[in-house]
Structure 1
Amino acid sequence: MMYRKMPKNGDELSILGFGCMRLPVKENGSIDEERATKQVRYAIDHGVNYVDTAYPYHNEQSEPFLGRALADGYREKVKLATKLPGWMAKSRKDMDQFLDVQLEKLNTDHIDYYLVHALVGDLWDKLVTMGVADFLDNAKADGRIVNAGFSFHGAGEDFKRIVDAYDWDFCLIQYNYLDEKNQAGTEGMEYAASKGLGIVVMEPLRGGNLTNPVPVSVKAIWDTAPTKRTPAEWALRWVWNHPEVTVVLSGMNKEDHIDENLKVADEAFPHSLTEAELELVRNVERKYRELMKVGCTGCRYCMPCPEGVNIPLCFEIYNDKYLSGNADGARFMYAARLGSVLSVGEPEFASKCVQCGDCLDKCPQHIEIPTMLESVVEELEGPDLEQRVAMAKVAFKRT
């Protein structure tokens, strides 16, 4: 495992962090605690020392899970990060109450890296008027948090002014080779680094869209590289190639993915990609731009939908149709995965959308969700949808 220093405090942090937003789950949707605990502890045993969660992850169960997973001495081996759900706060007092609840859930007396969660310009302005700076100052002074930061999903111009608005220790940004000019982007990352902030990166694989599935036309580009690497390794190495980046979070939920990421994190030096390799990544980026229809990362901030639409899954399968080139396969999986064949509960089809707009302000990617759901309906539903659901029930032995 390689380590990089957090600029303001000198902490030696593993360049690979464990993100706890996409833990393995059981059929009923609850965290598969036995498996997830083994995964988290395995990663820590192999050098990971930065673990990230947040109040809403896994229906508010990620934090209490992690509190249990970090028992038996594992809490002392890591720097723990979680986040203030600022959109839920109605007053300055609420902020303290959220933090105190999080400390209890996580079974700890302090948070090493505490972030104001999912900032956009308007939310930051609201929190400023409620006294968020005073909250952070006092929480640091009384020892409940050690380092203060923020995660960001807004426009570039808002990012810079938020960086300048408080004496932050670090920030968390979405960054990958498709997002160089999106949200904070490269310009914002370099600006924050110039101000002494540590940079933690989320969505290095863009919610898995850069690795699963890999379109044939994209694979053909990767296959031209003299040095053979998986798409995940290329994506991770591209982020770690930037010396400004301290930690890259990976939402690891499969054992082979953890092993692969650990291997790459033992080799990924900054400035280690050649110009020819960087040009190869640029060619892949251009090809993805031609193929992708929706810039959804699967973060689920838009959920729950009041009408029961599974928005991220609708967009995942919609993108898969174009990334895989298999329209029939995508239509079948749409029926199976959204038609209550592979899950419990009611169907979650895009056609249940009533254009209420509840999701629009919540989307970090600023996707016109109701409009895009109309495209999903047009291309993935149709008059044979019920027939495809019935076929899926037979295929998956569901009655």
Structure 2
Amino acid sequence: MESIEKTSKMKYRKDKNGNPLSILGYGCMRFTKKGNSIDIDKAEKEVMEAINSGVNYFDTAYVYPGSEVTFGEILKRNNCRDKISIATKLPHYMVKSKKDLEKYFNEQLRRLQTDHIDYYLMHMLTDVMTWERLKAFGVDEWLKQKVHNGQIRNVGFSYHGNTEMFIQLLDAYDWDFCQIQYNYLDEHSQAGRRGLEAASKKGLPVIIMEPLRGGRLVNLLPEKAKNIIKENSKKRTAAEWAFRWLWNQPEVTCVLSGMNSLEMVQENIKVAENVTAGEFTKEDFELIEQVKNEINRNIKVGCTGCAYCMPCPKGVDIPGTFHSYNMMYAENKKNGRREYLMCTALRKNTSSASQCVECGKCEKHCPQHIEIRKELRNARRELETPIYKIAKTVVKIFKVY
């Protein structure tokens, strides 16, 4: 990849092999639509603004409608494939045989009009059992061959789930990088800070998705939280605070942003050019805590995500359940239920609240003294909707994962 460090003010952090990755990455899932298809001319202006400003990590996926094709065409039009790294993802949940591995990968090469993928992820890898299922198809040998012949440069996985399973997955293969959902609201949920630090200790670059929680940390902040940010003397936007909180951590390699306007690209680049790891002051951290407190004012369960209650003998993801339950009231019911579905049902070994047999083991270890059994019953009633139960049954019957 052609170096662009010397021609831009963009900041870079290193991948496992010492290659520079821009701290701001471009998430290609949210290209603007024009009718039923992507507005490629608009997307081209935005992507090229990013490339010309030093952004060199672009993330897409097989299942993002039109994204790979659009991005591949933009690179071809501007003859700039060698200036950037492409990250895309294997839809392993669609793989039924070793032939499927080759089929989907070759289709992705055609869509992207390239002969190699720089960063190839197992998309939304849910647990070790799912990885073992792929290994039964020979995915480890297949990946080894692709790396050997240069068609894949780095192998990783993206993840939604709890911290414990994430740490187990880190040891399941000799990964080159990983991608997690992480932001100041998810500091102690999903892979969380503990997962981030565990990956960093293994020398893995960590790519961050959902830094703004799908815009939640910008557009849907409570009014009091907006005022806290507005009245601060540093006059940063809500998005800038969220990005700076992430980049303050040296373990964070690259933060993805689904940029779909020229103004957004330019604003995010300006911030990325002027940050330093470890720059946060005591007052900065206090502001983030104040904003979090306003967001969480309507939460149902005072769970901090410490996971002292884990592991559950029946496999219930207790912190994940409470996080999703709280999200229903801190954000909205749809987001909370979606989170719960992804983190508990879409995996071979489910971790639903309904698996609880009320043994009480968890409550003996909870530093918050939460009535866990009672709250799991409450959460189950609201989270395990008919749609959830259908999805869980489909996964079980058809072994989707």
Q: Which bin holds the TM-score, normalised by the shorter protein?
A: 0.7 to 0.9
Give the aligned residue type for 1:108: T
> How far off is 1:5 after superposition?
3.2
Q: Indicate yes or no: 2:70 matched with 1:68.
A: no
Against the structure 1 CA distance between its residues 366 and 239, is the aligned structure 2 distance closer, same or farther, given a 3 Å change threshold? farther
1:184 has 2:168 as partner: no
- Scaled by the length of structure 2, the TM-score of the pair is 0.73
Range 6-15 or range 238-247, more displaced: 6-15
Instruction: Name the residue aligned to 2:260.
Output: 253
After superposition, the Cα gap between the structure-2 partners of 1:11 and 1:358, relative to the gap in structure 1 and judged at 3 Å, is: closer
**CA offset at residue 184 of structure 1?**
0.8
Distance change (3 Å), C-alpha of 1:370 and 1:124: farther
Aligned position for 2:38: 31
- For 2:21, the equivalent position in structure 1 comes to 13
Aligned to 1:116: 122
| Partners of 1:124 and 1:112 in 2: CA distance | 21
Give how far 1:131 is off. 2.3
Per the TM alignment, residue 95 of structure 1 is displaced from its structure 2 partner at its CA by: 1.1
Partner of 1:87: 93
For residues 384 and 46 of structure 2, the distance between their equivalents in structure 1, rounded to whole angstroms, comes to 35
User: What is the DSSP-based 3-state SS (H/G/I as helix, E as strand, rest coil) of the residue aligned with 1:258?
Assistant: helix
1:240-293 per-residue CA deviation (whole Å, 9 max, x = no partner) reads 000011111000012211111010000111011111101210121121122479
Whole-angstrom CA distance in 2 between matches of 1:221 and 1:144: 49
Residue 106 and residue 223 in structure 1: after superposition, are their counterparts in 2 closer, same or farther (change >3 A)?
A: same
Match of 2:56 among 49, 52, 72: 49
Alpha-carbon RMSD: 3.2
Superposition map of 1:139-288 within 5 A: 139-288=146-295
Shift of 1:223: 2.9
Matched position secondary structure for 2:86:
strand
Q: Aligned partners of 1:285 and 1:321: how far apart in 2? A: 14
- Structure 1, 168-177 or 210-219: larger mean CA deviation: 210-219
**CA distance, structure 2, for counterparts of residue 38 and residue 195 of structure 1:** 38
**Is contact 2:228–2:291 with CA below 8 Å preserved after alignment?**
yes
CA distance in 1, matches of 2:269, 2:68: 23
SS of the aligned residue for 1:13 comes to: strand
Please list the CA deviations of residues 114-137 of structure 1 after superposition, one character each: whole Å capped at 9, or x if unmatched.
111101114223223322211211
CA distance in 2, matches of 1:33, 1:108: 18
Deviations 1:296-323, CA, capped at 9 Å, x for gaps:
xxxxxxxxxxxxxxxxxxxxxxx99977
TM-score by length of 1: 0.73
Residues 10 and 22, structure 2, Cα contact 8 Å, conserved in 1: yes
Instruction: Provide the residue aligned with 2:368 in structure 1.
Output: none
- The one of 337, 361, 368 equivalent to 2:345 is 361
Which residues of structure 2 form unaligned runs of 5+?
A: 1-8, 301-326, 336-340, 354-378, 386-401
Cα 1:289–1:115 shift into 2, 3 Å: same
Q: Which amino acid aligns with 2:250?
A: P
Percent of aligned pairs sharing the same letter: 46
| Alignment match, 2:319 | none
The farther-off stretch of 258-267 and 282-291 is: 282-291
In 2, the alpha carbon distance for the partners of 1:3 and 1:13 equals 8
Q: Does the aligned pair in 2 maintain the 1:80–1:111 contact within 8 Å?
A: yes
Question: Does structure 2 retain, via aligned residues, the 8 Å contact 1:116–1:151?
Answer: yes
* Code of the aligned partner of 1:18: Y
How many Å apart are 1:182 and its aligned residue?
1.2
Alignment length (residue pairs): 321
- 1:134/1:12 CA distance change after superposition, 3 Å: same
Q: 1:366, 1:244 → 2: CA distance?
A: 31
Distance (Å, rounded) in 2 between the aligned partners of 1:320 and 1:44: 38
Report the 3-state secondary structure (helix = DSSP H, G, I; strand = E; otherwise coil) of the residue aligned with 1:102: helix
